[in-house]
């Protein structure tokens, strides 16, 4: 279009009239006529009509010969480039990369927190970007598998090139994002583990106090059955229960929160980096470090859920919804199995031919994570 604008500005009407319509771009904007010299406008209008007629006829011919799917793929090849989803993702990624560079320079905790919020924002865009990449790849694959007449070969090949270039551009952005996200969540996980370590000693003191009070409560209940001073023992039991409840509340307040959403985000960062062609080898050291941190946090998460259920079982007077509190995972393994089951269902929405990720890659990664998880020093399966 840029070349055509220059020709309109420099050629005489006679020279413009000799331009072949089949070489002119599609969808020539009307403002081109308004910007053209007065003496060329009538010739230009005729030329545009001829070009539009040619492209419309060619489109109808292509649609008649190869069907609607091929036309949709060809249309998609004409609107590649920085589409809205990709453009927004690109700009936000650049902002995050600049912030990451700033954090690497001074390692301020507040910046790491902003980086964490930033990756959660980009994660919300990730599905749309991956879906566009998948649609682009499928369009290119469709055109590659269709047999076309010689006169249309160049058109089809050009469309395939445009589609593949767009997909490669998206894969490049994803690779940058997966590298950045893995580094951010790696530090997030280490920060969480340090926080846990600092509070563990305090939690142990509270646990011992709770156990001591629970022993007193059992003795009081035994005494209640043996004495006539039931009102006094009841009052003492209520007092002990109140103190236990207060200590349990304090223990929970001091417990470092780990949610399934956090674990899933961290696991996503690890899995995507391990599968993507631009990060699977280059990030091996960071991946190993992130896996070790994730295993520790997975185990901690399961310990928290089990401890919560045990508190309710041993102190039924606690004001907690038992159905909600007892719904927990006893094994880290089950969390991994559930995660990969869901991941397999999602792959059809974002796998591209450029990424070259196969289902075997996902299976192998699952086996590796489960195998290493079982070997981790803190992991012990019940009954095994």
- Identify the residue whose tokens are 């199995």: 337
**Distance in angstroms (rounded) separating the CA atoms of residues 132 and 197:** 43
8 Å CB contact between 230 and 265: no
> What residue spans of 255-331 are helical by DSSP H?
260-275, 284-314, 322-325
Confidence of residue 305 (pLDDT cuts 50, 70, 90): low
What is the domain range of residue 294? 170-336+353-375
Same domain, 321 and 266: yes
Exposed e or buried b per residue across 2-37, where buried means at least 16 C-beta atoms within 10 angstroms of its C-beta? eebeeebeebebeebeebeeeebeeebeeebbeebe
Rank 245-259, 286-300, 361-375 by mean pLDDT and report only the highest.
286-300
Same domain, 226 and 163: no
Does residue 381 lie within any of the structural domains?
no
Of 132, 151, 167, which closes a domain?
Answer: 167
Q: What is the pLDDT of residues 168-196, one digit of tens each?
A: 999 999 999 999 999 999 999 999 898 88
Same domain, 210 and 326: yes
The percent of residues in the chain predicted with pLDDT above 90, rounded, is 19
Q: Helix 332-347 crosses helix 260-275 at what angle (to 10 degrees)?
A: 60
Confidence of residue 366 (pLDDT cuts 50, 70, 90): confident
Among 117-131, 158-172, 233-247, the range scoring the smallest mean pLDDT is 233-247
Does residue 382 lie within any of the structural domains?
no
Same domain, 60 and 86: no
Confidence of residue 345 (pLDDT cuts 50, 70, 90): confident
Tokens (6 digits) for 284: 């091996």
Does residue 346 lie within any of the structural domains?
no
Same domain, 93 and 157: yes
Of 119, 145, 167, which closes a domain?
Answer: 167
Does residue 33 lie within any of the structural domains?
yes
Tally of domains in the chain: 3
Same domain, 131 and 158: yes
Tokens (6 digits) for 260: 């399934």
Does residue 316 lie within any of the structural domains?
yes
Same domain, 119 and 232: no
Same domain, 316 and 194: yes
Same domain, 106 and 187: no
Confidence of residue 122 (pLDDT cuts 50, 70, 90): very high
Does residue 19 lie within any of the structural domains?
yes
Torsion of CA 124, 134, 347, 274, to 10 degrees: -80
Closest CA to 85 of 131, 31, 136, 129: 129
- Identify the residue whose tokens are 């674990």: 263
**Distance in angstroms (rounded) separating the CA atoms of residues 44 and 287:** 60
Same domain, 297 and 228: yes
3-state helix, strand, coil in the chain (%, to 5): 80, 0, 20
Same domain, 238 and 301: yes
Of 136, 167, 198, which closes a domain?
Answer: 167
DSSP state of 23: G
Does residue 313 lie within any of the structural domains?
yes
Same domain, 188 and 242: yes
In order, the DSSP letters of 91-102 are HHHHHHHHHHHH
């Amino acid at each position: 279009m840029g070349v055509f604008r220059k020709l309109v500005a420099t050629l005489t009407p006679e020279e413009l009239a000799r331009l072949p319509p089949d070489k002119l771009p599609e969808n020539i904007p009307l403002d081109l006529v308004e910007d053209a010299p007065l003496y060329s406008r009538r010739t230009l209008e005729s030329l545009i009509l001829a070009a539009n007629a040619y492209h419309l006829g060619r489109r109808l011919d292509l649609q008649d010969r190869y069907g609607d799917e091929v036309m949709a793929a060809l249309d998609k090849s004409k609107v590649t480039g920085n589409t809205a989803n990709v453009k927004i993702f690109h700009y936000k990624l650049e902002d995050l990369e600049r912030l990451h560079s700033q954090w690497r320079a001074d390692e301020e905790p507040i910046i790491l927190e902003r980086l964490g919020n930033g990756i959660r924002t980009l994660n919300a865009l990730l599905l749309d970007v991956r879906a566009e990449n998948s649609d682009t790849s499928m369009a290119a694959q469709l055109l590659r598998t269709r047999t076309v007449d010689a006169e249309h070969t160049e058109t089809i090949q050009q469309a395939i090139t445009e589609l593949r270039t767009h997909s490669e551009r998206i894969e490049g952005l994803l690779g940058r994002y997966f590298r950045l996200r893995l580094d951010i969540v790696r530090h997030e996980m280490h920060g969480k583990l340090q926080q846990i370590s600092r509070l563990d000693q305090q939690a142990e003191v509270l646990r011992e106090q709770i156990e001591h009070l629970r022993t007193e409560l059992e003795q009081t209940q035994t005494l209640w059955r043996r004495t006539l001073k039931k009102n006094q023992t009841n009052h003492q039991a209520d007092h002990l229960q109140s103190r236990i409840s207060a200590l349990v509340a304090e223990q929970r307040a001091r417990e470092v929160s780990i949610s399934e959403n956090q674990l899933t985000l961290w696991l996503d960062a690890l899995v995507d980096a391990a599968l993507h062609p631009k990060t699977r080898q280059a990030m091996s050291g960071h991946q190993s470090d992130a896996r070790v941190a994730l295993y520790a946090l997975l185990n901690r998460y399961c310990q928290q859920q089990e401890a919560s259920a045990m508190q309710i079982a041993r102190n039924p007077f606690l004001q907690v919804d038992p159905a909600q509190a007892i719904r927990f995972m006893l094994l880290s393994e089950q969390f991994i199995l559930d995660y990969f089951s869901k991941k397999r269902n999602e792959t059809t929405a974002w796998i591209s031919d450029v990424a070259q990720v196969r289902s075997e890659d996902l299976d192998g990664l699952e086996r590796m994570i489960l195998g290493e998880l079982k070997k981790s020093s803190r992991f012990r399966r019940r009954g095994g």
